[in-house]
Structure 1
Amino acid sequence: MDNKLLEILACPVCKSPLVYDKQAQELICNADRLAFPVRDDIPVMLEDEARALSSEEVDKLK
């Protein structure tokens, strides 16, 4: 994931900054507890495509 792209991307739901999880290939919004997939190096920034993070996943990211 390009760092410049990551700097300008924001959560489509709440506009918070996103954190890139390289291993899971997801962009994480800590505020909404959502993970947006990255497919073929393209972020899928659709709320319907995001998955909810479990409490354990959120704690692990802190």
Structure 2
Amino acid sequence: MDTRLLELLVCPVCKGPLEHDRQARELICRADQLAYPVRDGIPVMLESEARELDAPVPATVAGGAAA
């Protein structure tokens, strides 16, 4: 993901900063405890697509490929 784009993106819920988790392919909002997916290098900044940080990482990311 382009670092310039990352500097511009904020959480759509609280407008706070995001952290890029490259391994999990997510943008993390610590304030709201939400993780927004990055699919094919494109951040999906929809609250409905975010997972809560205490929820498990989807199998497609954690295991490499879906079964």
TM over 0.5: yes
Q: Which band: TM-score by shorter chain?
A: 0.7 to 0.9
- Give the residue type in structure 2 aligned to 1:38: V
TM-score (norm 1): 0.86
Structure whose alpha-carbon radius of gyration is higher = 2
* TM-aligned CA deviation for residue 20 of structure 1: 0.3
Name the structure 2 match of 1:30: 30
- Total equivalences in the alignment: 54
- Identical-pair percentage: 70
TM-score (norm 2): 0.79
Distance 1:17 1:30 in 2: 8
Q: Which runs of 4+ in 1 moved over 3 A?
A: none
Structure in which a larger fraction of residues adopt helix: 1
Name the structure 1 match of 2:16: 16
Name the structure 1 match of 2:3: 3
C-alpha RMSD of matched pairs (Å): 0.4
Gaps of 5+ in 2: 55-67
Gaps of 5+ in 1: 55-62
